[in-house]
A = this chain, B = another copy of it.
Amino acid sequence: MRVLGIDPGSVTTGYGLVELRGDTLHAVTFGAITTQAGLPFAQRLLRIHQELRTLLTRARPDCAAVEAVFFARNVQSALRLGQARGVALLALAEEKVEIHEYSALEVKQAVTSYGHAAKGQVQEMVRLLLGLAEAPSPVDAADALAVAICHHHAARLKARLRER
C-alpha cells in the first residue's frame, strides 16, 4: 500500500509517499512545494494545485492522509491555510484518491510513543521509522511523511482487529 501524506500550507506544502513492503515502511519520495512570497495568492494556489496534480499522476498513491486542523494562530492564518488545504483536497478529489484525516495528536502518537513531541523529535522518529540516512527535510516534508506513517499504522490496526 502506498500512502501519500500531505501537509498543506500557503507558503510550503509538504508531501511524502510511504510504501509498505513486506513488514517495513519505505519513503518512496518526499519534498515540498514552495511558492514565491511575492506571487499573488491565486497564483500560489495555482502552483500548489498544479504541482500536486503532477505528483499524483507520478506517485499513484492508493490513498492520501492529511492532518485535520483544529487550531490556528488567528482567523487570517486559518483562512490562508484553508485556501491552500482546499486546493490540495481538490487535487485529491479530482484524481479520485481517498482522503483520511488524522489529528496532530494522532500523528505524533503514531511516530513517537507519546503525543507531545517536539518538531525535531518527529523528524528524527520519521527518519528511524523509514530507515533514512538523514532526517527528512524540510520539516513540512517530515510532517507529511509522519501523517502517511500514521495512516499505515491505523490501517494495520484495523486489519488486525478484523482478523480477531
Contacts and interface: CB of A to CB of B under 8 A. Distances in A.
Nearest to A68: B79
Contact of A85 (B40, B49, B79): B79
Q: Which 3 A-B pairs rank lowest in CB-CB distance, beginning with the nearest?
A: A82-B82, A86-B86, A83-B86
Interface residues of A, number: 30
Interface of A: 40-43, 45-46, 49, 69-72, 74-76, 78-87, 89-90, 92-94, 99
A48 to B, nearest CB: 9
A71 to B, nearest CB: 6
Contact of A42 (B40, B75, B81, B92): B92
B82 A49 contact: no
Contact of A84 (B40, B81, B86, B99): B86
B93 A86 contact: no
A86 B74 CA distance: 18
Nearest to A83: B86
Contact of A72 (B43, B79, B80, B94): B79
18 contacts: A40-B99, A41-B89, A42-B93, A42-B99, A49-B90, A69-B75, A71-B75, A74-B75, A76-B78, A78-B78, A78-B79, A79-B79, A79-B81, A79-B82, A83-B86, A85-B86, A87-B87, A90-B90
